[in-house]
Amino acid sequence: QKEVEQNSGPLSVPEGAIASLNCTYSDRGSQSFFWYRQYSGKSPELIMSIYSNGDKEDGRFTAQLNKASQYVSLLIRDSQPSDSATYLCAFKAAGNKLTFGGGTRVLVKP
């Protein structure tokens, strides 16, 4: 079993709709979780951090964490074509390292 599992996609979303991305992880001791956005050919950009169970909202983004079920999700409301990118989830593992998933590619269609 991989440490971090993400559906590779592509996740096709109509403009204005909600994009829902999921990520499951295997390390029950993880305390910090992150979502990065990566445009094609560019480096990852941190868009959300979440540390406790529940929801965290930042603009059109909402991260949801459920440690008991070992998953973290990202909702993108009112999706725009500029949201088309690959979204990487990551969690803080032992030794102060991050472990990354393979990413979910999102395509927002006008």
Partner 1 sequence: DGGITQSPKYLFRKEGQNVTLSCEQNLNHDAMYWYRQDPGQGLRLIYYSQIVNDFQKGDIAEGYSVSREKKESFPLTVTSAQKNPTAFYLCASSIAGAGGRNEQFFGPGTRLTVL
39 binds partner 1 (CB under 8 A): no
Q: Which residues contact 57 (CB under 8 A, 6 or more apart)?
A: none
- Altogether, the residues listed in the chain come to a count of 110
Nearer to partner 1, 45 or 78 (CB): 45
Binding segment (CB under 8 A) for partner 1, from list 18-26, 61-69, 77-85, 90-98: 90-98
11 binds partner 1 (CB under 8 A): no
100 binds partner 1 (CB under 8 A): yes
- In whole angstroms, the minimum distance from the beta carbon of 46 to partner 1 comes to 6
66 binds partner 1 (CB under 8 A): no
**Phi first, then psi: what are they for 96, rounded to 5°?**
65, 30
Q: Check residue 31 and report its DSSP letter.
A: -
- Mark 63-80 as b/e (b = at least 16 C-beta within 10 Å): bbbeeeebbbbbbbeebe
By CB under 8 A, name the binding residues for partner 1: 4, 8, 31-32, 34, 42-46, 49, 51, 88, 92, 95-98, 100-103
